[in-house]
């Protein structure tokens, strides 16, 4: 099982939307486990289309209990029971009681800051199901606290979400630094890239900020965080794919990811190229190099067609 976590401490950056849609798209071909590690429970609402995330299906059957038990098996919702087209997708849900997780973990294990076990609870809880799934997708809260650190330490790769704003730009450096710190307990962790989301093509400031990040962060990766990704990928730390702000995509949390949503295909369409690039990045430098070659050919053909 390959585990991918979507993170950034800035709220409203597209973490939940991206986690949900990527999990849904992967589940069209693979067995997927989605983990809602955000106490707001938005991923749970989006996938189940439940307005009440405290009902009997979910209450005391969440990521909180799974981490405390160090075993997610009893706390999974089979999404095929809700929507037939989600047969390959399971969800470990969340609600706001997840905010108690750090306190409960430190109480269970130790009040000693050097004890790593409170930050390894999610990783341990996933171990019993590692052979049941191809991919695990983790949504995280807008913070860099213990809950997010659990997600980082459980992951093979992390994607940092970047919504084109000044505050999101300010958040990137610290987020990468926390990922680098997470490698102490998870040496195999890789930064898969920075994914621009919620991009409004009509705004010049979005284009300027995106260009700034593309210029700054290859240098930052090389000089400050060289172990977080392969050297050959520094110059492509920012995804080529971007998620533009579209009405049909924005309505996915309301209409859901089932066939009952008449705009489902157009809503998830911006994430199709993201998924292709994400899989290439996850597969490593050679696979990513092949992806880049194909992309350059496609761009060249498109340019020639326009001329």
CATH number at residue 127: 3.40.50.300
Residue 79 CA: distances (Å) to CA of 89, 128, 233, 244: 6, 20, 36, 27
Tell me what pLDDT residue 202 has: 63
Contact (CB, 8 A) for 278 and 260: no
Query: Which tokens belong to 224?
Result: 């400050």
Query: Which tokens belong to 106?
Result: 């430190």
Rounded Cα distance between 68 and 130, Å, is 18
The total domain count for the chain is 1
Tell me what pLDDT residue 44 has: 95
Query: Is the predicted pLDDT of residue 204 greater than 60, yes or no?
Result: no
Indicate the pLDDT class of residue 114, thresholds 50, 70 and 90: confident
If one compares 149 and 110, the residue with the highest pLDDT of the two is 149
Pairing of strands 157-163, 2-7: parallel
Nearest to residue 4, comparing CAs of 129, 156, 113?
Answer: 156
Residue 106 CA: distances (Å) to CA of 18, 92, 102: 31, 22, 6
For the question of whether the overall pTM of this predicted structure is more than 0.85, the answer is yes
- Average pLDDT for residues 224-232, to the nearest whole number? 93
Provide CB contacts within 8 A for 158, sequence distance 6+. Answer: 4, 5, 6, 7, 152, 179, 189, 190, 191, 192
Pairing of strands 157-163, 89-92: unpaired
Query: Is the predicted pLDDT of residue 275 greater than 60, yes or no?
Result: yes
Query: Is the predicted pLDDT of residue 113 greater than 90, yes or no?
Result: no
Query: Which tokens belong to 41?
Result: 């429970």
C-alpha atoms less than 13 angstroms from C-alpha of 141 in its C-beta half-sphere: 20
For residue 118, what are the domain limits?
2-306
If one compares 3 and 58, the residue with the highest pLDDT of the two is 3
Task: Please give the share of the chain, as a percent, with pLDDT higher than 70.
Answer: 93
Indicate the pLDDT class of residue 260, thresholds 50, 70 and 90: confident
């Amino acid at each position: 099982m390959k585990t991918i976590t979507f993170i950034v401490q800035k709220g409203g950056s597209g973490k939940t939307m991206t986690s949900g849609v990527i999990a849904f798209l992967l589940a069209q071909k693979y067995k997927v486990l989605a983990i809602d590690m955000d106490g707001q429970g938005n991923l749970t609402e989006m996938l189940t289309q439940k307005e009440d995330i405290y009902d009997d299906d979910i209450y005391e059957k969440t990521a909180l209990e799974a981490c405390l038990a160090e075993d997610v098996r009893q706390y999974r919702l089979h999404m095929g029971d809700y929507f037939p087209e989600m047969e390959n997708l399971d969800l470990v849900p969340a609600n706001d009681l997840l905010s108690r997780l750090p306190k409960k973990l430190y109480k269970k294990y130790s009040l000693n800051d050097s004890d790593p076990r409170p930050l390894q609870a999610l990783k341990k809880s996933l171990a019993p199901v590692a052979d049941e799934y191809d991919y695990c997708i983790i949504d995280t809260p807008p913070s860099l606290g213990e809950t997010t650190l659990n997600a980082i330490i459980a992951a093979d790769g992390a994607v940092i979400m970047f919504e084109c704003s000044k505050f999101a730009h300010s958040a990137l450096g610290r987020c990468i630094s926390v990922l680098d710190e997470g490698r102490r307990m998870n040496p195999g962790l890789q930064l898969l890239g920075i994914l621009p989301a919620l991009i409004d093509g009509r705004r010049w400031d979005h284009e300027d900020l995106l260009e700034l990040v593309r210029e700054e962060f290859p240098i930052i990766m090389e000089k400050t965080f060289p172990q977080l990704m392969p050297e050959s990928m520094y110059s492509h730390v920012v995804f080529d794919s971007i998620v533009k702000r579209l009405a049909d995509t924005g309505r996915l949390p309301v209409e859901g990811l089932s066939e009952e949503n008449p705009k489902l295909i157009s809503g998830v369409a911006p994430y199709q190229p993201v998924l292709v690039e994400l899989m290439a990045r996850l597969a490593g430098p050679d696979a990513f190099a092949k992806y880049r070659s194909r992309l350059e050919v496609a761009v060249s053909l498109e340019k020639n067609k326009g001329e």
